[in-house]
Structure 1
Amino acid sequence: MHLAQLARRGFAAAVLCGAGFAFAADLPNVTILATGGTIAGTGATSTTTVGYTAAKIGVEKLIEAVPELKTIANVKGEQVFQIASENMTNDYWLTLAKRVNTLLRQSDVDGIVITHGTDTIEETAYFLNLVVKSDKPVVIVGAMRPATAISADGPINLFNAVGVAGSKDAKGRGVLVALNDEIQGAREVTKTSTMLANTFRAPELGNLGYVVRGQPMFYRASTRKHTTATEFDISRLDKLPEVDIVYGYANAKRLPVDAFVAAGDAGLVHAGTGNGSLANPVKEALKEARAKGVVIVRSSRTGSGITARNGEANDDELDFVAADNLNPQKARILLMLALTRTHDTGEIQRMFQTY
C-alpha cells in the first residue's frame, strides 16, 4: 500500500535493493514563475466561479496549497508580476521572456512553469515559443475556477504542469500549455469557451498528449520551428513594434485602419471573414496603409483553417502577407517579431510558413 501511495504521488522509479526498496532521490528542479490570473484568484464564496477577483494569491501560497509538488520536483517560486491576463502587454512579455531565458541558462533549473490567466495564455505561450532560447521544458498553466471555488482546478493543473516541466520527455517540444489533464502546443492552442474547464483546444490538429499522475504522455509534436530554432532575439530589445488587429464583419468601415496608421503602427493584422476576405472600404484603406510602409497580414476570424495566399485577395499584387493557419492574435505576435528583423514582405511570408 505504501508503495502504491508513493507511485500515485509521482515517484516514477523504485528499484529492488537487497531486502527492501530504494527510491530515486534525484528530483528535477522546477522554477514556478507566477504572473497572476484566475489560478491566483479569489471569490466571495466557494460557489463564486464568475465575478471573482483574479491575481490575488502570491506564488508561495500557490505552492503551499499543493504539498504533493515536493514528491515530483524540487520547486521554488518567483512572482514576476501579478495581473489579470487581459492586462498583458508587450512590456510584460519582454520582462517574462528575459527572465525565462536567464533561468534556463542555469544548470540548477531543469524546467519552468508559468502560472497565468487563461484569457491570453495562448498569446504568451506563442510569444515564448518564438523567443525562448533553450530546449528545457517551459509549461504555462492556469485555471478556469478561482482558488476559493469548490472543485478549483488550479491545484491539479499546477501539479501536472510541474510534472511535465520536470520530465525529460518534454524537452525540445517547444512551449507547452497544460490544463485539464491535457498538453497543448503553443502554436496551435486557443481558448474556446468562456467558462468550461476544457476550454483549451487545438482546432483540427488536436492536443500533443495527456498528463497521468503528473507524468506526461506525448503522442505527437509540432513540425514548425520554435525556441532554439528561431531567428528572433529579444535579449537587447526594450520595445516591440506596434502591431494591431482590425476585425472583419458585415458593414465594416475603414476607420480602424486609418486610426491605427495615424497612431504610427508598423503592421496590421486583418481578421477577415471566411478565408481572410476584405470588404471593399477596408481593402482600400489597407492598400493605402501598405503604400505608407505598414506591413499587412491577412488572417481569418473563423478560428481554424489556412488563410491561403492569393486566395480571397491577390496578395502578390497587394504586397500583403497571408497568415497561414495562425489565428489573428498569434499572427500579430509573429508579425511584431518579424518586424524586429525585416520589413521585406517576402521574408515575412517565409517566417509565417516557418513558425
Structure 2
Amino acid sequence: MRLSLYIALCLLLGFFGCSDTKSESEVAENQSQVEQKENPISNVDVVTKTNEQKQVSNVSDRSKPNIVILATGGTIAGTTDSHINTTDYTAGVVGVETLINAVPEIKNLANIKGEQIANIDSADMSNEIWLNLAKRLNELLQDSTVDGAVITHGTDTMEETALFLHLVLKSNKPVVIVGAMRPSTAMSADGAKNLYNGVSLAADTRAKGKGVMVVMNDRIQSARYVTKTHTLNVDAFSSTNSGDMGYIVDGEAFFYSLPNKPHTITSEFDVSNLDTLPQVDILYSYANDGSSIAAQALFNHGTKGLVVAGSGAGSIHKNHKETLRQLMQEGLIVVQSSRVNAGMVFASESDSELGFIGSGDLNPQKARVLLMLALTQTNNTKDIARIFARY
C-alpha cells in the first residue's frame, strides 16, 4: 500500500516538474497564447486594420494624380480683423500649407504638394517672379510623377500672369490659376471653393492640352481671353470676346470650347535662359491727351515697347501719335490696343506704314505681355506684327 502511494507520488511530481523546466521564451509564448485566447478578436482586428490601411494608402497613392500647388499670395492668402470686411485687408499673409489644410477635401482628389513662390499683393507682381514661377513650373511639369499644377494668385494681375505662363510653359499638363475676391478670414470667402475647383480641374485628364486656365466662381476661362471685369463681385472674371471655356459643377468640369491660338508646347517663346524681360509700358489716350511727354520720358529711361490704350478702336490723339512716330524711328515698338473692354484693334494701312501694330483682341495689359515676349525674339516691326497676328 505504502509502495503504491510512493510510486503515485513520484509520477505526479515528475509530471508537474517538466513545466518548471520550460524556457522563458516558452513561458512568454504560452502567456501570449493565453492572452489571445482571452481576447481573440482585438489583436486580429488591429493587424487586419493595419494591413487594410496600408493597402488603401498604396492604392490611393497609385490611383490619385499628383498635383503641385504653387502659392504667390493675393487675396486668397489675405486676412482681415473683421469678418464682414472685404476691402480693407492685407493680401499675401497666409502660407501655402495653411491654404491646403483649410480645404482638406482636395486631398480626396489628388496627392497634394505645396510650394511658396511668393506671398505678395498681386498689384506688386514683377518680371522676376514671373520668370521664377515659369521656370519652376517647367521643371515640375517635366517630372513624370507630376500630373498638373495649381497656382494661387491675386486677382489684380491674374490675367497677365495667366497669359505669360500660357505662352512660355512647355507642357500639355493642366495648369490652373485660382484666386479670391474676398480674403480668407472674411464671411463667405470664395477662395476655398476656387481652390477645390482648381485642383479638381488640374487632376482631370480631359484638361490636358488646353493651356493655362483660370478658375473663378465655378467658371473656366482660357488664359488667352480672360479678363477681370468687376472690382468687387465674386463673379469678377469673364472672357468678353470668346465666352467661357467651361464650367465646374460639384467638382466636375464641363468644357464648351478650346483656345484657338498657339500656346505652351506650340508657342515659340522660351524663357529658360532669361533673367530679365524687356521693359514695356502702357499709356492711355484721352481727350486733350498730353501723354506724349510721358512717352518721350519712358523711352529716354529704357522702355523698348509701348502699348497705347487708345479710344474706341485704338484711336490715338494726333499730338501723341506724332511723338510716337518720331520715337518709332529711333527704335521704339508701339502697339495699338483699346481702353474698351471688348472688340478688336487693327492698325490702319497708313498707321501700319508708320510702324504701328494692332493688338487684335488683346487688351492693353495682355498686349504688353505679348510685346515683352516678342521683344525677346526680335525688334523688327514686321516680325512683331506677325507675332501679334499669330498669338
Choose between structure 1 and 2 for higher RCO, CA contacts under 8 A separated by at least 6 residues. Answer: 1
Code of the residue aligned with 1:258 in structure 2: it is Q
Quote the Cα distance in structure 2 between the aligned partners of 1:278 and 1:24.
58
SS at match of 1:123: helix
Quote the Cα distance in structure 1 between the aligned partners of 2:115 and 2:347.
44
Which one of the candidate residues 258, 280, 285 is aligned to 2:323? 285
Partner of 2:174: 137
The yes-or-no answer on 1:210 pairing with 2:247 is yes
CA shift digits 1:324-345 (9 cap, x unpaired): 1100000001001001111111
The yes-or-no answer on 1:273 pairing with 2:297 is no
Q: State the structure with more CA Rg.
A: 2
The offset of 1:275, in angstroms, is 0.7
The yes-or-no answer on 1:197 pairing with 2:234 is yes
Partner of 1:233: 270
CA shift digits 1:58-77 (9 cap, x unpaired): 00000000010111111110
CA shift digits 1:129-170 (9 cap, x unpaired): 000000001100000000001111000100000000111111
Which one of the candidate residues 320, 338, 357 is aligned to 1:321? 357
Quote the Cα distance in structure 1 between the aligned partners of 2:327 and 2:207.
43
SS at match of 2:166: helix
Quote the Cα distance in structure 1 between the aligned partners of 2:77 and 2:60.
33
Contact 2:225 2:241 in 1 (8 A): no
Contact 2:71 2:114 in 1 (8 A): yes
Quote the Cα distance in structure 1 between the aligned partners of 2:270 and 2:61.
38
Partner of 2:366: 330
SS at match of 2:114: strand
CA shift digits 1:146-202 (9 cap, x unpaired): 000111100010000000011111100010000100100001100011100001011
Kindly indicate which of the two structures has a greater share of residues assigned to helix. Answer: 2
CA shift digits 1:72-111 (9 cap, x unpaired): 1111100011100000011110011001101000011100
Code of the residue aligned with 2:317 in structure 1: it is A
Partner of 1:163: 200
The offset of 1:350, in angstroms, is 1.1
Code of the residue aligned with 2:376 in structure 1: it is T
Quote the Cα distance in structure 2 between the aligned partners of 1:60 and 1:24.
20
Quote the Cα distance in structure 1 between the aligned partners of 2:61 and 2:127.
42
Quote the Cα distance in structure 2 between the aligned partners of 1:210 and 1:332.
28
Quote the Cα distance in structure 1 between the aligned partners of 2:218 and 2:278.
36
Partner of 1:310: 348
Quote the Cα distance in structure 2 between the aligned partners of 1:84 and 1:199.
17
SS at match of 1:119: coil
Partner of 1:8: none
SS at match of 1:169: helix
Contact 1:315 1:322 in 2 (8 A): no
Partner of 1:111: 148
Partner of 2:53: none
Quote the Cα distance in structure 2 between the aligned partners of 1:143 and 1:337.
28
The offset of 1:316, in angstroms, is 2.4
TM-score by length of 1: 0.92
The offset of 1:215, in angstroms, is 2.0
SS at match of 2:248: strand
TM-score by length of 2: 0.83
RMSD between aligned residues = 1.3
Give the percent of matched residue pairs that are identical in Structure 1 and Structure 2.
53
The offset of 1:259, in angstroms, is 1.1
Quote the Cα distance in structure 1 between the aligned partners of 2:127 and 2:117.
14
Code of the residue aligned with 2:369 in structure 1: it is I
Code of the residue aligned with 2:170 in structure 1: it is K
Which consecutive unaligned segments of at least 5 residues does structure 1 have?
1-21
- Which runs of 4 or more aligned residues in structure 1 lie more than 2 Å from their structure 2 counterparts after TM superposition? 22-25
Partner of 1:60: 97
SS at match of 2:321: helix
Partner of 1:10: none
Partner of 1:100: 137
SS at match of 2:366: helix
Partner of 2:108: 71
Partner of 2:78: 41
Quote the Cα distance in structure 2 between the aligned partners of 1:287 and 1:41.
44
Quote the Cα distance in structure 2 between the aligned partners of 1:93 and 1:180.
24
